[in-house]
Chains A and B, each alone.
Chain A
Amino acid sequence: MKRDDVVGALLRMDVRPSILEDFPALPADVEGLLIYGSQARRDAVPGSDLDVLALVTAQRPSTDSGYVHVSYYTREQLSTGIGTLFGAHLKRDAKIVWDKHGHLTRAVGDMGQVDTKRLLARAWSMSGLFTSLERDLPKYLSGLLRQARYLLRSCLYAQAIADGAPCFSVRELAVRHGDPYLARLLASRQPGEATAADLEQCLSRLHGIIGEFPPSEHGSLEATVVNEWGRPSDVLSMAFMALGTTGTTSDYAEVEKVLL
Chain B
Amino acid sequence: MSAEIAFVGDIHGNLSALRGLCNVLAARGGPHAIFLGDYINRGAQSAEVLEELLAYSGSGRATLLRGNHEAALLDALDTGDLTAFLKMGGAMTIRSYVGAKVGPDVLSDFRARFPREHLDRIRRMPENYESNDFIAQHTQPSASTSKFRVSAHVAVGKLPRIEPQSAQLDTGCGADDGRLTALLWPSLDYVQVDARGTIVTD
Contact residues of A with B, CB < 8 Å?
132, 135, 139-140, 218-220, 222-223, 225-227, 229-230, 240, 243-247, 251-253
Contact = CB atoms under 8 A, between A and B. Distances in A.
A229 B84 contact: no
Nearest to B100: A227
B69 A223 contact: no
B44 to A, nearest CB: 8
A226 B94 contact: yes
B104 A220 contact: yes
The winner among B69, B72, B94, B107 for most chain A CB atoms within 10 A is B94
Interface string B27-48: 0000000000000011010000
B83 to A, nearest CB: 5
B162 interface: no
A244 B83 contact: yes
A227 B44 CA distance: 13
B95 interface: yes
Contacts of B92: 229-230
B86 A225 contact: yes
A218 B107 CA distance: 14
Contact of B86 (A135, A219, A226): A226
Nearest to A228: B91
B106 interface: yes
Contacts of A246: 83-84, 87
Interface in B26-80: 41-42, 44, 68-69, 72
Interface of B: 41-42, 44, 68-69, 72, 82-84, 86-89, 91-92, 94-95, 98, 101-107
Given A244-B83, A251-B68, A251-B69, A218 B88 contact: no
Contact of A245 (B42, B68, B87, B94): B87
Nearest to A229: B91
A223 B88 contact: no
Contacts of B89: 229, 253
Closest 3 CB pairs of A and B: A219-B104, A253-B89, A229-B91
Contact of B106 (A220, A240, A245, A251): A220
A243 B104 contact: no
Contacts of B41: 253
Given A226-B91, A229-B92, A243 B106 contact: no
Contacts of A139: 83
A226 B95 contact: yes
B95 A229 contact: yes
Contact of B88 (A220, A226, A230, A253): A253
Nearest to B89: A253
A220 B91 CA distance: 14
A227 B92 CA distance: 9
Given A140-B83, A225-B86, 12 more contacts: A220-B104, A223-B106, A225-B91, A226-B98, A229-B95, A230-B92, A240-B86, A243-B83, A245-B87, A246-B83, A251-B88, A252-B87
